[in-house]
Structure 1
Amino acid sequence: MLKIIRERWRQGYRTGKFPKIEPVLAERFRGLPQLPTSACPENCRACQDVCPTDAITFEEGRPVIDLGRCLFCDDCARACPEKTLSLTGNYHLAASSRENLLQKTNEAPKIAALNAHMRSLFGRSLKLRQVSTGGCNACEADLNVLATLVFDLGRFGIQFVASPRHADGLLVTGPVTENMKGALLDTYAALAEPKLVIAAGACAINGGPFIGSPEIHQGIGDLIPVDLYIPGCPPHPYTSLDGMLRLLGRLK
């Protein structure tokens, strides 16, 4: 026992101070894209040509990035001949509507907090059932990290539970394969009303790298209503945590 106490004293307090203090992410973290502030050279579509998920379109000569499709692979930034497109360290990527994931400016997506009634129900205690619908397990791994002492999701009253009967909401990862479609819909139906749905990762939002495959449903948006979209491949734990807290009205 004395050895355990001594070791605990040696390690100190390991839980991050987010949200009181902004987290320091690794230098190689790829977050919110920085778009050109003026029109690109005529006929230059280098970033669009290399995007593996067709996440980039053009309006008035400037790129528009669909963060729901984006894998944050950095191919677009490396291909830009003017070097006016880059990926920043901004982890504020989540949005409460699919349309808000279409990045046309250099502002982070917006999240509309739940209404007062929903916040009174879930603002201090939110139980989530996580369903993997055919993903690669990267999103699942980074969500599991939220339960560790570094992030300590439970201090905000948010927990993952084993049964939809015990859950207030559904957190979905993966592109929804044909084999998992029925399981997803059954799990959603088992949740009591009112309920929340969170789509985490590019696959759950729009199919990710599997987009266009006839074996998937291009994400969950056309199957069940979604309250929060968390982009990334996979989303950083702080991106997920920030999005959930903003949805619950715990952050402004």
Structure 2
Amino acid sequence: MAKAKLAKSPWMLHYDGSSCNGCDIEVLACTTPKYDIERFGIINTGDPFQADILLITGGVNHQSESVIRQIYSQMPEPKVVVAVGICACTGGVFKDCYNIKGGIDTVIPVDVYVPGCAARPQAIIDGVVKALAVLQQKREAWAGRRRGEA
């Protein structure tokens, strides 16, 4: 497991695109004392303007597409997106439905994929820890660009 040195606690925003809520229940389980995602310094927020990590469950449908784009655009750089569950990764069992566009990566870039139906809390936490390493890399690259480094 990669260890990330972050200057501040990363804030995570969870959004349900169009799921059956199985993955949402598992995301909620990650916040309980049994799994305790906060031990990694993660702070859960409902404000995209404060979020570093966007954790999305469910696939993209025509109604959620604009909302996902808006939330992503409101997040400050650098930011990381984690697709949780097979529906968020590919559209899942609903991918052939008339109203499903597919996985989250059909709308915004995804940095970490966490497959499963429903994704287990251990897998979700592993994905978020991987996202922390990606966030640190993006922060270093962002800082370098701000300093004028190539």
- By the TM > 0.5 criterion, same fold? yes
Matched, 1:201 2:56: no
Give the TM-score of the pair, scaled to structure 1: 0.50
Give the equivalent residue in structure 2 for 1:172. Answer: 56
Give the equivalent residue in structure 2 for 1:211. Answer: 95
Give the equivalent residue in structure 2 for 1:191. Answer: 75
Residue 212 of structure 1 aligns to a residue whose secondary structure is: coil
Aligned residues: percent identity?
35
Give the equivalent residue in structure 1 for 2:34. Answer: 150
Alignment check: 8 A CA contact 2:53 2:131 kept: no
Residue 170 of structure 1 aligns to a residue whose secondary structure is: strand
Corresponding residue to 2:45 among 153, 161, 175: 161
Residue-pair matches, total: 133
Instruction: Report the residue type matching 1:217 in the other structure.
Output: K
Higher relative contact order (CA 8 A, sep 6+): 2
- Say which structure is richer in helix: 2
| Alignment deviations for residues 170-210 of structure 1 (CA, whole Å, 9 cap, x no partner) | 11111111111111110001000110000000111101110
Distance 1:176 1:228 in 2: 17
Over 2 Å off, 4+ runs: 119-122, 246-249
Instruction: Report the residue type matching 1:137 in the other structure.
Output: N
Distance 1:137 1:203 in 2: 11
| Alignment deviations for residues 27-80 of structure 1 (CA, whole Å, 9 cap, x no partner) | xxxxxxxxxxxxxxxxxxxxxxxxxxxxxxxxxxxxxxxxxxxxxxxxxxxxxx
**For the pair shown, which has the larger CA radius of gyration, 1 or 2?**
1
Instruction: Report the residue type matching 2:106 in the other structure.
Output: D
Instruction: Report the residue type matching 1:130 in the other structure.
Output: H
Q: How far off its partner does 1:230 sit?
A: 0.1
Gaps of 5+ in 1: 1-18, 20-112
Give the 3 Å change call, closer, same or farther, for CA 247–134 of structure 1 in structure 2.
closer
Give the TM-score of the pair, scaled to structure 2: 0.81
RMSD: 2.0
Distance 1:220 1:246 in 2: 18
Distance 1:129 1:220 in 2: 15
Q: How far off its partner does 1:144 sit?
A: 0.5
Give the equivalent residue in structure 1 for 2:108. Answer: 224
Q: How far off its partner does 1:121 sit?
A: 4.3
Q: How far off its partner does 1:222 sit?
A: 2.1
